[in-house]
Amino acid sequence: MVATAESCTGGMIAAAITDIAGSSDVFDRGFVTYSNAAKQAMLGVGASTLATHGAVSEAVAREMAEGALSRSDAALAVSVTGIAGPGGSEHKPEGRVCFGLAQSGRATRVETVEFGARGRAAVRRATVDHALDLLIDALSA
């Protein structure tokens, strides 16, 4: 079973999975945690983690994925948090997305991908595609 924890994609990963007939055999639930308060309340992301690293960070992506795993019946959870745009900053530019992948019995994996300032819709679509690839790779291993 798979769970998702999404910020910048707002549920698009869960939608992509559940668009497929029979997905109820593999998909447990999705958490859309757009605000920092939702990340804390629904996934247990630490206030200190958010204060120290900011919402768009590998530390937050890790806690989101681990929170989704522990708060679901899934054995695998993917998380995303990023700057879809428009905008961003010098330190956190548009197109930066942090991913987390938590799996029962394995160390949580995190990574950051710089998709670039290609526009909100394109960054979100690329984020969904990358998250699905992470899930496929984990399930294939």
Residue-wise pLDDT for 41-80, tens only, equals 999 999 999 999 999 999 999 999 999 999 999 999 999 9
Mean pLDDT of 81-88: 94
Average pLDDT taken over every residue of the chain:
97
Look at residue 83 in the predicted model and tell me its pLDDT. 97
Look at residue 141 in the predicted model and tell me its pLDDT. 83
Q: Does the structural domain 2-140 have CATH classification 3.90.950.20? A: yes
8 Å CB contact between 110 and 99: yes
Look at residue 88 in the predicted model and tell me its pLDDT. 86
Residue 58 tokens, joined: 């590998």
Look at residue 6 in the predicted model and tell me its pLDDT. 98
Q: CA separation (Å) from 125 to 95, 121, 131?
A: 11, 6, 10
pTM of this structure: 0.97
